[in-house]
């Protein structure tokens, strides 16, 4: 079990959290409460903690380069990719735009979806002040197209486990699109679930990534289980 520091955050643990590392990439299993990049809270983000780790491990003088390839919301757990070179970051950004990086999520929701699997398309507008996105069924103003596929994996008495393949990368996309469908993520009070989880997490987990290495073209395929808690254990 990871310890929590005075700020309420779980500090970066390279021994438990590094899933893959080479000269160009470092891929991390993020814990709930860890933030990928700095925000208005002022809490130390993962990218800075990883820079400190790399600087110490490799005895690097000066600044350490680390590019953020994609993000996970603070209460979400799972796989996050960072680039250790600008070449890798540039190529991965192009691969993401071309949908060449497969990202699979597991999510626990309060209602069974209307169909066992489906393809959701919405148009999302972000409210900066509320740090919240809103979904519409048709294009509207500056709204951005959002797509995902979902599949029902298991059902328990009160909750249901979905697998989600993210096809676009929008702000709070899975959270808002599933809420629009009527399936609220356990613990996600921002999008309508009635009560928070005790640790402020939500039951959304970045389960798997698969992509061609941006430099050597090897296939990188990684999977990681969600945090151990009583709700995830219903399904695992």
CATH number at residue 27: 3.30.2350.10
Work out how many domains the chain is built from and give that number. 1
Q: Is residue 151 part of a domain?
A: yes
Q: Is residue 5 part of a domain?
A: no
Residue-level pLDDT at 187: 98
pTM (2 decimals)? 0.93
CB-CB neighbours of 152 under 10 Å: 17
40 has pLDDT over 80: no
Q: Is residue 4 part of a domain?
A: no
pLDDT tens string 49-105? 999 999 999 998 889 999 999 999 999 999 999 999 999 999 999 999 999 999 999
Q: Is residue 75 part of a domain?
A: yes
CB-CB neighbours of 227 under 10 Å: 19
Q: Is residue 1 part of a domain?
A: no
What SS3 class is residue 93? helix
Q: Is residue 114 part of a domain?
A: yes
CB-CB neighbours of 81 under 10 Å: 26
Name the residue range of residue 73's domain: 14-234
Rounded CA separation 169/178 (Å) = 14
Q: Is residue 6 part of a domain?
A: no
Rounded CA separation 78/221 (Å) = 14
Residue-level pLDDT at 236: 85
CA 53 from centroid of its chain's CA atoms:
22
Residue-level pLDDT at 29: 98
Backbone angles phi, psi at 46, to 5 degrees: -60, -40
Q: Is residue 59 part of a domain?
A: yes
Read off the pLDDT of each residue in 221-234 and give the average, rounded to a whole number.
96
Q: What is the DSSP letter of 225?
A: P
152 has pLDDT over 50: yes
């Amino acid at each position: 079990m990871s310890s929590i520091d005075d700020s309420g955050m779980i500090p970066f643990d390279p021994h438990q959290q590094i899933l893959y590392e080479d000269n160009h990439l470092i891929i991390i299993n993020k814990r709930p409460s860890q933030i990928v990049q700095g925000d208005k809270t002022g809490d130390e983000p993962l990218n800075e903690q990883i820079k400190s780790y790399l600087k110490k491990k490799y005895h690097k003088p000066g600044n350490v380069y680390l590019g953020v390839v994609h993000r996970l919301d603070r209460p979400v757990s799972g796989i996050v990719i960072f680039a250790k070179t600008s070449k890798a970051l540039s190529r991965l950004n192009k691969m993401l735009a071309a949908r060449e990086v497969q990202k699979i999520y597991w999510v626990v929701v309060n209602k069974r979806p209307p169909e066992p699997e489906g393809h959701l398309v919405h148009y999302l507008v972000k409210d900066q002040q509320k740090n919240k996105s809103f979904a519409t069924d048709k294009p509207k103003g500056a709204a951005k197209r959002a797509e995902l596929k979902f599949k029902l994996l298991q059902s328990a008495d009160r909750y249901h486990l979905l697998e989600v393949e993210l096809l676009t990368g929008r702000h709070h996309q899975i959270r808002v699109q599933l809420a629009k469908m009527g399936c609220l993520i356990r613990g996600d009070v921002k999008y309508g679930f009635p009560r928070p989880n005790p640790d402020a997490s939500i039951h959304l987990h970045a389960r798997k990534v698969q992509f061609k290495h941006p430099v050597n073209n090897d296939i990188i395929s990684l999977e990681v289980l969600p945090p151990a808690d009583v709700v995830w254990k219903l399904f695992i």
